[in-house]
Amino acid sequence: MKKLNSIRELHPCFGAKNNRGRMHLPVCPGCNIFCRFCERSINKDEDRPGVAAKVITPEAACEYVERALKFCPDITVVGIAGPGDTLATDNAIKTFKLIGEKFPALLKCMSTNGLLLKERLPDILDVGIDTLTVTVNAIDPYIEAQLNDGIIYHGKRIMGEAGAEILINNQLAGIQAAAETGMTIKVNTVLVNEINRFHIKDIAKAVSERGAAIYNIIPLIPQHKLRDLSVPGCIDIETVRHEAGKYIDVFRHCQHCRADAVGVPGKNNFSRQVYLGELQSR
Ligand code: SF4
Ligand code: SF4
């Protein structure tokens, strides 16, 4: 497991500058929670999280990494961030194992909603994940239930605040347990002005106390059941970043990438070439 200083030099989403690239492997189509703003999609046009040109198998992943390194030798990180959740199936863990054996120099970065983080931590450590991102949108079940309809937990569907409470407890316990192993953890929060705007500082404080190192606030893309809500503006985002910054280091350069992004964030994207075999860069 790499330490925060070397991660800050190598990972574009943990502070690295100088053209560091990352590649997302879309190996996880399904999810175990029901975020009310989530619209997963398979297409090659939309530039947002939850979208990939296709879903690939863990066994095919190494081939795509080889292809991506030809288009973008600056890639230092292989990440799995959807389109669904990385722990809802075994696909992500299997993929990281194969990638670790073939490309030991690449950082392994995983994003999860955290529902199963604590119970899958032994597997996560076993495959040597270097950086972990956990999305925490509220630490109050009443607020979380407005953002998320429910969860599927150990085969049971648990809706409303009851599900939200389990999710929040598991997220915070998972962050703490992972941080205690020395893992570098970033927390993402989707900012929804009408729902969690005045709650962001509480989330930042709680996750910092559990050992998270970096905080990333992502403005809502209004879609699915929250399609009628507003897009947070620059002033909203700056205000909550300032509030959160009292408790934790705030990351300000997130590009809200696709689940199959390939390249240097904000500079280039070779998803179509790598996953669809197209020739032109975007
Ligand atoms: Fe969608 Fe991610 Fe929420 Fe799952 S955790 S429903 S993939 S936004
Ligand atoms: Fe980095 Fe944000 Fe893109 Fe994730 S979505 S790879 S944090 S820039």
Q: Tell me if 220 CB under 6 Å of ligand 1.
A: no
Domain residue limits, the chain:
4-276
Of residues 155 and 45, the one with the higher pLDDT is 155
Please tell me the predicted confidence (pLDDT) of residue 49.
85
133 alpha carbon to ligand 2 midpoint, in Å? Answer: 10
CB-CB contact of 68 with 17 (8 Å): no
Please tell me the predicted confidence (pLDDT) of residue 106.
94
| Fold (CATH) for 4-276 | TIM Barrel (3.20.20)
Q: How confident is the model at residue 11 (pLDDT cuts 50, 70, 90)?
A: confident
Q: Distances from the Cα of 180 to the Cαs of 120, 175, 218, 233, 274, in angstroms?
A: 15, 8, 26, 36, 37
Closest CA to 26 of 88, 99, 94, 83: 83
Q: How confident is the model at residue 30 (pLDDT cuts 50, 70, 90)?
A: very high
Average pLDDT over every residue of 265-274: 89
Q: How far apart are CA 92 and CA 85, in angstroms?
A: 9
CB-CB contact of 78 with 65 (8 Å): yes
Ligand 1 atom closest to Cα of 88? 4
Give the bridge partners for 250, in sequence order.
Answer: 215
Closest CA to 17 of 271, 238, 264, 186: 264
CB-CB contact of 180 with 124 (8 Å): no
205 alpha carbon to ligand 2 midpoint, in Å? Answer: 22
Average pLDDT over every residue of 249-277: 88
CA atoms lying within 13 Å on the CB side of residue 99? 32
CB-CB contact of 137 with 113 (8 Å): no
138 alpha carbon to ligand 1 midpoint, in Å? Answer: 14
Q: ipTM score here?
A: 0.87
Q: Tell me if 116 CB under 6 Å of ligand 1.
A: no
User: Whole-number mean pLDDT of the chain?
Assistant: 92
Of residues 8 and 86, the one with the higher pLDDT is 86
117 exposure class (CB count in 10 Å sphere: 0-12, 13-18, 19+): buried
Please tell me the predicted confidence (pLDDT) of residue 47.
82
Ligand 1 atom closest to Cα of 49? 8
Q: How confident is the model at residue 50 (pLDDT cuts 50, 70, 90)?
A: confident
Map residue 258 onto helix, strand or coil: coil
Q: With 60 as the cut, is the pLDDT of residue 281 above it?
A: no
DSSP letter at 232? P
Q: With 70 as the cut, is the pLDDT of residue 12 above it?
A: yes
Average pLDDT over every residue of 171-178: 98
Please tell me the predicted confidence (pLDDT) of residue 195.
98
In degrees, rounded to 5, the angle at the alpha carbon of residue 265 between the alpha carbons of residues 263 and 269 is 40
67 exposure class (CB count in 10 Å sphere: 0-12, 13-18, 19+): middle
Please tell me the predicted confidence (pLDDT) of residue 51.
87
Q: With 80 as the cut, is the pLDDT of residue 73 above it?
A: yes
Closest residue by Cα to atom 8, ligand 2, is 254
Q: How far apart are CA 208 and CA 212, in angstroms?
A: 5
Of the listed ranges 26-40, 60-74, 126-140, 260-274, the one predicted with least confidence: 260-274
Over residues 184-204, the pLDDT tens digits come to 999 999 999 999 999 999 999
10 alpha carbon to ligand 1 midpoint, in Å? Answer: 27
Terminal Cα distance for the chain, rounded: 34
Average pLDDT over every residue of 54-72: 94
Q: What is the Cα 85 distance to its own chain's centre? A: 9
Q: How far apart are CA 281 and CA 276, in angstroms?
A: 12
Q: With 60 as the cut, is the pLDDT of residue 282 above it?
A: no
What does the CA dihedral 21, 19, 239, 113 come to, rounded to 10 degrees? 10
Closest residue by Cα to atom 2, ligand 2, is 254
Residue with tokens 């029901």, as numbered in its chain: 34
